[in-house]
Each structure stands twice: as structure tokens, then as C-alpha cells.
Amino acid sequence: MTTDINNFVTIKRQKNGVSKIIHNRENEVNIYKFLRENLGFYKLTTNKKRDYYRRGNNKPTPVSMFHIRDAFRDFIKHEYYTNLPEDIAPDEIYEWYISKNPIKENDLLRYILKGKI
């Protein structure tokens, strides 16, 4: 998964020339795939309990949803993404993330992060 910001948000140009940051289902899927493929997060279900892990140093580390959200927040905050349009400030992307909190613990997240460590 590339780090193109357009994978994670949709920037809509309004008739008055103002740009608006929106988020759709495709963006949500891309965020979850990025969490798995680029940041190394996985979900396992054992004894009917969901556990999240992060791969690192060739061994899994147990994490919580807070760790998952914080990792993506840091990715946004430190501007590790590419292709930000000139009329959008990096702070706007970060403020969008803080206000919308796009990472939800839902079936889609569980499905995409499901797997083996």
C-alpha cells in the first residue's frame, strides 16, 4: 500500500473553490490495509477473545486499539504521506483525523486485520 494521502481521505473541491476533506468506505478499507501491510498490525481470536498484535523484531507484540489509532495518528502528524494538494495544509489533515477518528473497531477492521502472526 502506498502512502498517498488520497488513499486515506478524499479531497472534494466545492463550487466556491474551497476544498473539503471527506472520508468514505474505500478510504476506510485503505487505512485498515495500511495498518496491516505497512504498520504490521494483526488480529487473532483465541478462546473467543479478540487480541491485536503488532509485528516487530520478528516477534508479535500485544497491542490495544489505542496503539493502533496512535500509530496511524503519528503517521498523519509527522506527514509521512505523499501527494498532499497544495491548497490543503498538513494541519488540516491532522485536525481531520483528530475530529473524525476514522479507525473504528468494527467488522471491517476485524476482517482486514484477521490473520496469522
Tens-place pLDDT, residues 2-14: 899 999 999 998 8
**Whether residue 116 has pLDDT greater than 80:** no
| pLDDT confidence of residue 104 | 94
Arithmetic mean of pLDDT, 15-34: 93
Calpha distance 110→107 (Å, rounded): 5
Question: Can you give the residue ranges of every domain in the chain?
Answer: 5-113
Tens-place pLDDT, residues 27-78: 999 999 999 999 999 999 878 787 999 998 778 899 999 999 999 999 999 9
Residue 110 C-alpha cell reads as 476485524
Calpha distance 87→76 (Å, rounded): 17
Q: CB neighbours of 4 closer than 8 A, spacing ≥ 6?
A: 81, 82, 83
